Amino acid sequence: MKHIKIIVLNLIALLGCSIMLQAQNNYKNWSDIIRKSDAAWFATPEAQTIAENVLLYQRNIGGWPKNIEMQKPLSEAEKQSLIALKSDLHDITTDNGATCQEMLFLAKMYKQKPDERYKKAFLLGLDYLLEAQYDNGGWPQFYPLKKGYYTHITYNDDSMFHILSILKQIAETSDYNGIPISQDYVAKAKVAFDKGITCIIKTQYKQNGVLTAWCAQHDENTLAPAKARAYELPSLSGKESAKIVLLLMSINNPSPEVITAVKSACTWFEKTKITNLEEKRILNDAGKIIDKKMIPATNASPIWARFMELDNNEPFFSDRDGVKKKSLDEIGGERKNGYAWYTDEPKEPLKKYPSWEKKYAFEKSEKKKAESENVITVAQDGSGDFKLIQDAINATKAFPYENVTIHIKNGTYYEKIRIPEFNNNISLIGESKEKTIITYDDYFGKMNLGRNSTFYTYTMLVEGNDFSASNLTIQNSSGDIGQAVALSIMGDNAYVFNCNILGNQDTLYASGNNSRQYFKDCYIEGTTDFIFGKATVLFENCQIHSLKNSYITAASTPEGTAFGFVFKNCTLTADKNATQVYLGRPWRIYAKTVFIECKMGNHIVPQGWENWSKPEAEKTAFYAEYNCSGEGFKPKERVKWSYQLSKKEAKKYTVENVFSKVQRFF
């Protein structure tokens, strides 16, 4: 009986496996599986089995080959063959939905079953998409590049639409169908998406000076319509242009260029629609198309030709000989029946266009109204709203709901600027970093206000939250005469981009209670403790320049704060007379300062850090470095109480971690 029971159980198990394999084989198309609406299915053993195939087919570079039915069971020999192909760089593509559809499948899998392998494979696919993009914003059909027409910018079969849809979702939500995306990837996705849209705008074809639509392929260098296969001649595409327009219509706050592109394409769709023909398909007993006929009709549902002449929009057709024909009946049965020569896809953007246009018209009027209230220009020659920056700040509303932008024209503004706590949401944008200069010359001795005189010496004081500044020089011009602050930020959520912060001792005071600040692509110079304070600050891609032998930082990070001063990918330079410079010393004993992947000149002393005659700070301060370079990076000679971070430890110093949550500017 026992043996019979075992046999029965084995038969049941085999039957279960057979049913499962049969269920897999019942899926005729891989694309149907990916788009299953039953989310719970992606947690089933059946889905997990298919996911193992998807992981096997992915190449090390991150992409997948096309036209693979991932649901088909693999033998052990086939699995070993796929493992051997991992490093192969041939036939990896986004054509026919490849790579994008596998990424979507893995995201759906991860949402139901958070296997880190799915997330890792998805991110590897994202790396592939980002790497494959041309500098002009387009994507080739195959990457690494495959010789021939495959190098053209490819809209064919909606390839770029699928790529840009992925990047758009990541850039807007920091998530892709359940996979959380780090801010590093979000930033890259935003840049890649914007470049892709720029490419789309530049490739929209002008017919006799009028914008129309797009070709299935465009030359990767000239951006002109290009040929692919013999029967895919340069032309305007009724099919591919539809998805491009839908993508453009999905953009929030579209630029004037995007609006013009959508309007022009929809006008072209209306002009080129065909309402006097219907396609009739003749099928055999197996359901296969054996003939197509275009039948004259009255008020037929609109269709569009796949290929239209560039100069007059006339439909044309072509066999594998590449010779243009005027009707479908003129080409052989293999191409006539095996290719989609007509499409109804432009119906969707045309259906959405009226509401899109209405929404845009409303938003445009509202935006214009808001801009008149929230955009101010400062110009010394009187051509703006104000001649002085402080007057412009004083004229802004207290606690505005929307950001107030103050454009500052080139000039040297000798002003002592204060942005009070009630003037939040202010952005100062200079005309140019080199020629828009805000300067003042207060210093400790001049103020003569007692032991705390330093804090009154600022050229610019920011007390309001949600402040940003870009394309400016902010300077304390008093010279090397003691403490003299150029920029003092006390508010939370501040962003300073592409600015020069110039001074000597105490150039930048980054402080405020729970203040978070982000300096990107800035030049900051000084002598002693020229970056000091208790704020949490990320300095990224900045040049930190020492004017003489002294100390760069003097953090006063409060006890229990997760991060203090964080320098990432910065370059540390110095004047010729500065040969003995410390990375920092603790203004207060819980100081935190970290340098990550920074390049350090030979002016940095081997010991790196100094305790400011506070031996207790050696136990409480946190001074660290990771993977830095340059003559000044001497990790083995640093003071024993500093740290060299591990790769795992360094990974936590991301924008989202440093600032707890994504802020308006981050």
Q: Which residues are catalytic?
A: 506, 529
Largest CA distance in the chain: 103
In angstroms, the CA 406 to CA 389 distance is 8
Question: Beta strand pairing status for 206-207 and 210-211?
Answer: antiparallel
Residue 575, C-beta contacts closer than 8 angstroms, at least 6 positions apart: 545, 546, 547, 548
Reduced 3-state DSSP string for 451-498:
CCHHHHCCCEEECCCCCEEECCEEEECCCCCCECCCEEECCCCEEEEC
Task: Quote the tokens at residue 532.
Answer: 């000091």
| Distance (Å) of CA 543 to CA 18, 253, 618 | 65, 34, 28
From the number of C-beta atoms within 10 Å of its C-beta (0-12, 13-18, 19+), residue 251 rates as middle
Nearest to 492 by CA among 659, 317, 259: 659
Task: Quote the tokens at residue 447.
Answer: 């103020």
In angstroms, the CA 37 to CA 560 distance is 47
Contact 60, 86 (CB under 8 A): yes
Question: Beta strand pairing status for 417-419 and 460-462?
Answer: parallel
In angstroms, the CA 128 to CA 52 distance is 20
Q: Which residue has the tokens 């930033």?
A: 187
Beta bridge partners of 581: 604
Question: Beta strand pairing status for 153-154 and 217-218?
Answer: antiparallel
Residue 18, C-beta contacts closer than 8 angstroms, at least 6 positions apart: none
Encoded amino acid at 587, one letter: W
State yes or no: cis peptide before 144, omega within 30 of 0. yes
Residue 262, C-beta contacts closer than 8 angstroms, at least 6 positions apart: 245, 248, 249, 254, 349, 353, 356
In angstroms, the CA 12 to CA 10 distance is 5
The enclosing H or E element of 256 equals: helix 256-272
Task: Quote the tokens at residue 630.
Answer: 């340059």
Nearest to 418 by CA among 490, 478, 466: 490
Question: Beta strand pairing status for 175-176 and 153-154?
Answer: unpaired
Neighbours of 16 (CB within 10 A): 11
Contact 50, 44 (CB under 8 A): no
Task: Quote the tokens at residue 531.
Answer: 């970056």
Task: Quote the tokens at residue 443.
Answer: 């210093």
